[in-house]
Each structure stands twice: as structure tokens, then as C-alpha cells.
A and B are shown apart, each in its own frame.
Chain A
Amino acid sequence: MKKTVPIAYSLILIVLLCSGTALIKGNSPEDLIVGKWKEVAWNFERISVDSAKLDGNLLSYQKKELYNNMMIHQAEEWEFCNKKQLTLKSKDPFEEKKLKWFLKGRGNILELKYGNNTVESYQVHKLTKDTMVIYYNFDLQMRGSVKITFKKVQEQDYAQKI
């Protein structure tokens, strides 16, 4: 019984120290996301059809809902800048969209804001140095139906280029 008190307090201290270390050493999602990302895959998970068969298998109201709510589905490259600016580039070099990005929650929600105050939110399922998987967020408690996978575009520095 006498040992319970010191054990309890030291446990809290240990947890605090560990989380402090993790915060200092770990990578914040806000740092990880900065850079150029290339879309590599699109999956429609909840509806269980792949994007190639989309037209044949999606109900018309589902399609309507998806495309009405999504504004960036044609971008190929997403460039996240430090100043919360996101540039979306498509195949057409002249077509470029600029919007604002924010991470919310514990870094698990990606919020995109357009100039006309339209807000679109995605769930960040995976975010590492080279891979990012996001879900289109229909509802906070539910994983969205659309899964987009990205690979980071590695920028070569001057020495590597030579």
C-alpha cells in the first residue's frame, strides 16, 4: 500500500517524459506534409468499386453527391507550402489552383479552404515521409468513401542533379 503513491506519481512522470521526448524527436504532421505530392491511386472504398468501373457501378445519386462535394478531384500534383498554401497542378500546365490548407484535430484532418470560403475536409489516414493516404471526409465518425494515395516527389538538390 505504501508503495502505491510513489508508483502512481512516477508513472505519471514517466508518461509525461516519454510524451515530451516523442514531441521533441517525432515529426509533426504539419512538417511532414510540406512538399510536393503526386497522386498514385484512387479507390472508392465504401462503395467497393474501383475507379475504372466507376461509371458502371455507382448509383447516380452517389456520383452526384461525390462530384458535387469534391472540387479537387482532377489535380495530379499537390504542393503543400509552409505558409499554408496548397497548389494543385493538373496535366494541363496552365491549369493551377491555389488554396489554403490546415491540419486539424491531432493532425488527422486535412482542411482545404477555397477563396469563396468553401471548406473541404479529408481524413489523413497515413502520413509518412514518402506516403500520404487521405480519405474524403463525409462524416467525422465515418471513414469516407474516397481514398487517395500520394507519393512524395523527391526534390533533388543541386549536388544530386550534377
Chain B
Amino acid sequence: MLRKYSTHRTHKDNLKIGGLTAFSAGMVNVISVIVFFAFTSNITGHYAVFAQELAKGNWFQAAIVILWIILFFFGSFTSNFVIIHGNKYIGRYLSHAIPIILEIICLLVVGIYLQNFYTESLQETEFLVGLLLFAMGLQNGLTASISNSAVKTTHLTGLTTDLAIALSMITKKHYRKDEKVIEKIQLLSSIMFFYVIGGVITGILYNTIRNYTFYIVCFVLTVIIFYDYYKLTVLKYNHKKFFSLKQEVRERKNNIQEEQNSNITEQNTCY
């Protein structure tokens, strides 16, 4: 899911990372709306609000909104920065995992702060919303960067447009057999589905477990990291073990055959 890059990624890889990250983005967005009355996974609305606040002459609020947008921007910037620079020094898997780790840290900070220290002041709200926007920027930057912009999971505006285009394509018979178009439809609709499901589950869960919901999002993100870790280490180890066993068997077979051959030659020479 994480370790493959750009064109090396399969459709299945994109489906997995798209579904899981969209699920977490949907969750984060709904919690932030419930707790802070602000969207955190998409920033299109924030641009409109920024323009509106400027027009009204509310400089303070305009500054807050532009800082939120910049935090989302820096999240995506950091993601891609780590991916392109870290690849050389810390390996592909780790450089792809770092943005998710940072995102988990941000979400944990928000969850812990809300549970223990939140006094509902405006400054705290603004700061925590900023932190969530940074986390969502990290996630969006990561998925877009490693999938060659095929997977974007924190907002659905572009996705809805792409899905509509893909669906209109298959009204032509020629495109119905096009695997790329079909795969695109599958990917986009699964992202949309999981985003909504994440939101719905959060809406239901928040009433009972309140801010613990943040830990569930962190768990989902941890699954993404450990899935690849599992693939990289455990499966690789098993594969190696299996391979070495196979080689051992082959060597034994060769040895037996050699022994048999030498016996035959010995017998022949005796005769």
C-alpha cells in the first residue's frame, strides 16, 4: 500500500490506501464539524470564507482562515518533501510512512488535548482546527504524491467530477471494455463510499465515546503503516525461509542424486 511508488503501484494498492485514508478523512471531518464547527478535510470552502471575510473587512478572521489554508498547504508540502528527500536516506517505506506517523501524532495531540485540557476558548479551537488541517494536508499530500495524483482522499469535489466524467465515458460501448476507465470508477467510488462511511460511523460513535473517536482514526492509520510493515518484514521473512528451505531440499536432492551417480559409477568400475 505505502511502499510502492507512482507507476509501480497496482490498482489494488490504490484501492486499499484510498479506502482506508478516505475513511479516516471522513471521520476527522465529521468530528471537527461536531466539536469545532469547522471543516478540516477540505479547504475549498475556506477559500470562499477567506474572500468573504476580506470583503467584510474582518481582518482577524481572514488571517485565521488563510493560516488554516497555509497549514493544509504545509502539510502537503511536508509530505512530498519527506517522500522525495527521505527516499535516499531512510528508504522508501519509511519515507512514505513518516507523513502518516506525523498525522497520527497530530490527531493524538488533538484527542488528548480535547479530553484533558480543552477550555473551549476560541484560540484553542483555532489552533486545534489548524492542527487537523495540517494532518489532512499531510495525508492528502502523501496519497496524491505516491499514487501519481490518482488517489486524493480528503475532499470530494474533484473526485465527484472525475467520477462523473468516467461514468459518462462508459455510456460509449468502446470505453466499457477499457480496464483503466473501469478501475478509475472502482477507485473513485470506493473513496467516496469510505469517506461517507467514516463520517456516518463518527456521527454515531461520537455520541457515546466522544473524543475517543480520535483514537479510532489513529488505529485506522496505524493499520496502514503496519500492513506494509507486515508485508515487508513478516512475509519477506517467510518468503526467505521458504526459499531457503526449497534450496535446502534441492541441495539434498542433488546430493542424493550425486551419491546415486557415484554409486553407479563405482559399480560400473567394479565390473
Q: Could you tell me if A102 and B60 are in contact, using CB atoms closer than 8 angstroms?
A: no
Give the complex CA separation of A29 and B270 in angstroms: 107
Q: Could you tell me if A105 and B63 are in contact, using CB atoms closer than 8 angstroms?
A: no
Q: Could you tell me if B33 and A106 are in contact, using CB atoms closer than 8 angstroms?
A: no
Q: What's the tally of chain A residues with a CB closer than 8 Å to chain B?
A: 27
| Interface hub of B37, B58, B125 (most chain A Cβ within 10 A) | B37
**Interface 9-residue window, one of A10-18, A54-62, A68-76, A152-160:** A10-18
Q: Digit string of A7-51 for contact with B (CB within 8 Å is 1, else 0)?
A: 000001001101110110111111000000000000000000000
Q: B94 within 8 Å of A by Cβ?
A: no
Contacting residues, chain B, for A66 (C-beta < 8 A): none
Count the A-B residue pairs with Cβ separation under 8 angstroms: how many? 73
Q: A144 within 8 Å of B by Cβ?
A: no
Partner of B70, one of A12, A104, A105, A111: A12
> What residue of chain A has the Cβ atom nearest to residue B61's Cβ?
A106
Using A15-B70, A19-B66, A30-B121 as known contacts, say yes or no to A104 and B36 having CB atoms under 8 A apart: yes
Using A109-B37, A140-B33 as known contacts, say yes or no to A103 and B122 having CB atoms under 8 A apart: yes
Using A84-B120, A104-B37, A106-B49 as known contacts, say yes or no to A18 and B61 having CB atoms under 8 A apart: no
Q: What's the tally of chain B residues with a CB closer than 8 Å to chain A?
A: 25
Using A15-B66, A84-B120, A121-B37 as known contacts, say yes or no to A105 and B125 having CB atoms under 8 A apart: yes
Give the complex CA separation of A25 and B62 in angstroms: 13
Contacting residues, chain B, for A29 (C-beta < 8 A): 60-61, 122
Contacting residues, chain B, for A22 (C-beta < 8 A): 59-60, 62-63
Contacting residues, chain A, for B61 (C-beta < 8 A): 29, 106-108
Give the complex CA separation of A108 and B63 in angstroms: 14
Q: Could you tell me if B64 and A106 are in contact, using CB atoms closer than 8 angstroms?
A: yes
Q: Could you tell me if A28 and B60 are in contact, using CB atoms closer than 8 angstroms?
A: yes
- Interfacial residues of chain B within 16-61, with CB under 8 A of chain A in the complex: 33, 36-38, 49, 53, 56, 58-61
Partner of A23, one of B38, B56, B64: B64
Q: Could you tell me if B37 and A16 are in contact, using CB atoms closer than 8 angstroms?
A: no
In the complex, what's the smallest C-beta–C-beta distance from B262 to chain A, in angstroms?
Answer: 72
Contacting residues, chain B, for A106 (C-beta < 8 A): 38, 49, 53, 61, 64-65, 126
